[in-house]
Chain A
């Protein structure tokens, strides 16, 4: 089953990738196993986001760049505002990467 590798770019994903890299570099772990761990991470992360998270967010901003390639949308916003139930964040510049949700359920 194909997985979305995009969550590997998050903080938790990067920490995992770094850890796996270190362990593979010093020979503790084989690369195959490391890849399996990453694939499992993709699945677990996706599932956790679906089931464990319930919040809703709105985003507003100026769209500086948009790109749609390989079924992935990439937006670069400027002066964006992110609102959710608890707080509001303003950022000068943010990149949004979004994969097609329909690809997973096929």
Chain B
């Protein structure tokens, strides 16, 4: 059976290679590249045990059950080293903006080191400004620009947020948080759902590039946010509002408040923020999520405030208890790609009677217990 699967795979490889050969020639790339592709592909397949070593075409002698390369998480489309990604969240959909802090204008009381995190458009070539910043203050674990190619836009924050002031507040948190980010530095945007809000927002601000030149920029910032929120993901919104809150609260001590503070510091926000970060299987509070995705702070704030008030009067609803179970279940499943069993197929029919589900599938690949099994037809009976 394993031989059979191998032979089908080899057939597929040959088929693909022969059909793209013309394309390669048309492109002017040449057959060498094609051969290299084929060789690499087969080698990888042998490494992960998809092909056995015993096939007509003489492969390099390797044990079929050889060191099994950890298969990446099959549950998400392959987009680069997936272990470093959390579930793609709205942060991935950031419109890549070419803006960059052209001038560093340090406010009194702030450090140039906050611009340590590069925001340049070319993230893997060190730009002069990046070097300077890195030279100024290079701490271990600081997000470096030389991360994965697919995400050059990650460190660009299109928020019009006062980064200087807020960063000072959150600076300690960033330092504490730094050791946590050895691998996920450029992806802290995406992993927002897993991180503490404070870490996230402080990194956010430190990654921002709109220097506030004076205190009267507060009004500007408040208005910029709604505009940006339209193009920005929902968790960005929550953080931006949060950061704006910090700015406002700090500024209010110095000058007369330009805008009345609409938010307090919510604990509620943490829970809600978690919901936004984790995309899957969120059976809970869809209404709140929709609220928070709304563009303006004015719309969003009454809801959390109301919840807070409600919780003060009544015992906590403990809505999150079961959610944690479900989420943990699924997350742990997705973090263990080698043990994640997967079936990819086409369905002909899916029916349900009460809690009894029946389906007919066809043309499928199953990856179970670290082996691949192909089928032409399958019938399933599940009890919900």
What is A's interface to B at a CB cutoff of 8 Å?
4-12, 14-23, 25, 28-30, 32-33, 36-37, 40-41, 43-50, 52-63, 65-66, 68, 73, 75-77, 82, 84, 86-87, 89, 91, 93-101, 104
* Residue B268 CB within 8 A of the other chain: no
Which residue of chain B lies nearest to A6 when distances are taken between CB atoms in the complex? B344
A99 vs B48: C-alpha distance when bound (angstroms)? 25
* Residue B36 CB within 8 A of the other chain: yes
- Is the pair B36, A95 in contact by a Cβ cutoff of 8 Å? no
Interface residue count for B (Cβ, 8 Å)?
69
* Residue B342 CB within 8 A of the other chain: yes
Task: Collect the chain B residues with CB atoms within 8 Å of residue A53's CB.
Answer: 8, 363, 374-376
Which residue of chain A lies nearest to B9 when distances are taken between CB atoms in the complex? A12
- Is the pair A15, B373 in contact by a Cβ cutoff of 8 Å? no
Given contacts A11-B48, A99-B346, contact A63 B9 (CB under 8 A): no
- Is the pair B379, A58 in contact by a Cβ cutoff of 8 Å? yes
Tally inter-chain residue pairs, CB-CB below 8 A: 222
A23 vs B105: C-alpha distance when bound (angstroms)? 42
Task: Collect the chain B residues with CB atoms within 8 Å of residue A12's CB.
Answer: 9, 12-13, 45, 50, 365, 372
A15 vs B29: C-alpha distance when bound (angstroms)? 21
- Is the pair B77, A95 in contact by a Cβ cutoff of 8 Å? no
- Is the pair A99, B380 in contact by a Cβ cutoff of 8 Å? no
Main secondary structure of the interface of B (DSSP, over half): mixed
Q: How close is B38's CB to chain A, nearest CB, in angstroms?
A: 9
Task: Collect the chain A residues with CB atoms within 8 Å of residue B333's CB.
Answer: 93, 95
What is B's interface to A at a CB cutoff of 8 Å?
1, 8-9, 11-13, 15-16, 19-20, 23-24, 27, 29, 33, 36-37, 40-41, 44-45, 48-50, 71-72, 74-75, 77-78, 80, 149, 281, 330, 333, 340-348, 350, 357, 359, 361-369, 372-384
CB < 8 Å neighbour of B374 from A16, A49, A61, A66: A49
Given contacts A30-B29, A48-B8, contact A82 B1 (CB under 8 A): no
Given contacts A57-B378, A59-B379, contact A98 B359 (CB under 8 A): yes
